[in-house]
Amino acid sequence: MTTKRFLIFVPSIIILFLLQSYLWVPTYEEQTKGNPNRLHEYVTASLGDATVLNPILSANSTSSQIESLVFEGLIDYDEELRFRGRLAATWEVFEEAYFHVNKHAEISGRTMPDAADLARFLEEARKKSADFPPKVKASLDRIESIVPLPPGDRVVTRVPKVKEPGKKEPGKRADPVKIRVNAPGRIKLVLSEVDQDLFKHLSVILGSDYFSTFNPMEYLRAESPENEKTLSAWAKEILPATEHNPVLVFHLRPHVKFHDGHGFDAGDVQFTYEAIMNPKNLSPRVSDYEPVKSVAAVDPLTVRIVYKRLYSPAFGTWGMGILPEHLLNARALKQEAQDLGKDPEAFSMRQSGFNRKPVGCGPFTFREWKSDQFISLDGFEDYWEGSPNYKRYVMRIIPDLLTQEMEFYAGTLDAYNVQPHQVKRLKEDPRFQSFSGTSFGYSYIGYNMQRPPFDDVRVRKALGMAIDVKKIIDYVLYGQGENITGPFVKQTDYYDHRIPPLPYDPEGALKLLREAGFKRNKAGWLEKDGKPFQFTLISNSGNDIRKAILAIAQDAWKQIGIEVRTDLLEWSVFIQERVDKRDFDALVLGWVMGIDPELYQIWHSSQTHPYQLNFVSFKNRQADDLIIKIRREYDHEKQVAYCHALHKIIAQEQPYTFLYVGKWTAVLDRRVVIKHIDEDGVMLYKKIKPTKTGSYTFHFNKWMKVPNMPQLSTEGW
pLDDT score for 411: 87
pLDDT score for 439: 87
Taking the model in full, what pTM does it have? 0.80
297 found inside a domain: no
478: region left, alpha or beta (phi > 0 left; psi from -120 to 50 alpha): left
pLDDT score for 36: 66
534 and 581 belong to one structural domain: yes
pLDDT score for 11: 38
Here the contacts of 397-400 (C-beta below 8 Å, separation 24 or greater) are 397/45, 397/46, 397/47, 397/48, 397/49, 397/372, 397/373, 398/45, 398/46, 398/47, 399/47, 399/48, 399/541, 399/542, 399/570, 399/571, 400/542
552 and 624 belong to one structural domain: yes
- Share the mean pLDDT of the chain: 90
pLDDT top residue among 671 and 201: 201
pLDDT score for 28: 47
572 found inside a domain: yes
Could you give the CA distance from residue 561 to residue 606 in angstroms, rounded to a whole number? 35
660 found inside a domain: yes
What number is the average pLDDT over the span 112-123?
A: 95
675 and 641 belong to one structural domain: no
* Structural domain count of the chain: 3
> Band of the pLDDT at 80, cuts 50, 70, 90?
confident
Question: For residue range 38-74, what is the model confidence (pLDDT) as tens digits?
Answer: 889 999 999 889 999 999 999 888 999 999 999 999 9
- Whether the per-residue pLDDT at 382 is higher than 50: the answer is yes
341: region left, alpha or beta (phi > 0 left; psi from -120 to 50 alpha): left
Which amino acid makes up residue 455? D
pLDDT score for 164: 52
198 found inside a domain: yes
- Whether the per-residue pLDDT at 709 is higher than 70: the answer is no
Q: Where is the domain boundary, 206, 226, 246? A: 246
Question: Which CATH number does the domain housing residue 678 bear?
Answer: 3.40.190.10
With beta carbons less than 8 A apart as the criterion, state whether 651 and 499 touch: yes
Task: Give the DSSP letter of residue 300.
Answer: T
87 found inside a domain: no
Question: Which CATH number does the domain housing residue 487 bear?
Answer: 3.10.105.10
- Whether the per-residue pLDDT at 502 is higher than 70: the answer is yes
- Whether the per-residue pLDDT at 162 is higher than 80: the answer is no
* Structural Rg of the chain based on CA atoms: 30
pLDDT score for 7: 33
- Whether the per-residue pLDDT at 9 is higher than 70: the answer is no
Among 293, 307, 290, smallest CA distance to 600 is for 290
pLDDT score for 168: 41
Beta strands in 593-680 (DSSP E): 656-669, 672-677
Q: Where is the domain boundary, 213, 230, 246? A: 246
- Whether the per-residue pLDDT at 295 is higher than 60: the answer is yes
Q: How many CB atoms lie within 10 A of CB 412?
A: 20
Among 392, 336, 334, 328, smallest CA distance to 360 is for 328
> Band of the pLDDT at 693, cuts 50, 70, 90?
confident
With beta carbons less than 8 A apart as the criterion, state whether 410 and 559 touch: no
pLDDT score for 23: 40
502 and 616 belong to one structural domain: yes
Could you give the CA distance from residue 394 to residue 43 in angstroms, rounded to a whole number? 5
Collapse the DSSP code of 60 into the 3-class scheme (helix H, G, I; strand E, B; otherwise coil) and give the result: coil
Question: For residue range 237-256, what is the model confidence (pLDDT) as tens digits?
Answer: 999 999 999 999 999 999 99
* Strands 531-532 vs 481-482: parallel, antiparallel or unpaired: unpaired
Burial class (CB in 10 A: 0-12, 13-18, 19+), 677: exposed
558 and 576 belong to one structural domain: yes
Q: Where is the domain boundary, 199, 230, 246? A: 246
pLDDT score for 194: 96
What number is the average pLDDT over the span 279-299?
A: 95
639 and 611 belong to one structural domain: yes
Domain that holds residue 116: 93-159+175-246
Question: For residue range 526-580, what is the model confidence (pLDDT) as tens digits?
Answer: 999 999 999 999 999 988 899 999 999 999 999 999 999 999 999 889 998 999 9
Question: For residue range 468-489, what is the model confidence (pLDDT) as tens digits?
Answer: 999 999 999 989 999 999 999 9
pLDDT score for 717: 43
Which stretches within 299-363 are classed as H helix?
Answer: 325-328, 330-340
With beta carbons less than 8 A apart as the criterion, state whether 636 and 642 touch: no
Task: Give the DSSP letter of residue 274.
Answer: H
Q: How many CB atoms lie within 10 A of CB 511?
A: 14
295 found inside a domain: no
652 and 671 belong to one structural domain: no
676 and 654 belong to one structural domain: no
599 and 687 belong to one structural domain: no
* Strands 586-592 vs 534-540: parallel, antiparallel or unpaired: parallel
pLDDT score for 33: 53
pLDDT score for 316: 93
What number is the average pLDDT over the span 105-121?
A: 93
645 and 502 belong to one structural domain: yes
pLDDT score for 29: 52
Burial class (CB in 10 A: 0-12, 13-18, 19+), 299: exposed
pLDDT score for 335: 97
Task: Write out the DSSP string of 103-152.
Answer: TT-EETTEE---HHHHHHHHHHHHHTGGGS-HHHHHHHHHEEEEEEE--E
117 found inside a domain: yes
153 and 203 belong to one structural domain: yes
587 membership: H or E segment, kind and range: strand 586-592
Q: Poorest-confidence range of 122-131, 220-229, 414-423, 606-615?
A: 220-229
83 membership: H or E segment, kind and range: strand 83-85
Could you give the CA distance from residue 357 to residue 370 in angstroms, rounded to a whole number? 11
pLDDT top residue among 664 and 453: 453
> Band of the pLDDT at 163, cuts 50, 70, 90?
low
- Whether the per-residue pLDDT at 20 is higher than 70: the answer is no
Q: Poorest-confidence range of 251-265, 593-607, 676-690?
A: 676-690
Q: With pLDDT > 90 as the criterion, what percentage of the chain qualifies? A: 73
461 and 475 belong to one structural domain: yes
Could you give the CA distance from residue 462 to residue 528 in angstroms, rounded to a whole number? 15
In SS3 terms, 437-459 reads as EECCEEEEEEECCCCCCCCCHHH
- Whether the per-residue pLDDT at 171 is higher than 60: the answer is no
67 found inside a domain: yes
Could you give the CA distance from residue 284 to residue 277 in angstroms, rounded to a whole number? 10
> Band of the pLDDT at 12, cuts 50, 70, 90?
very low
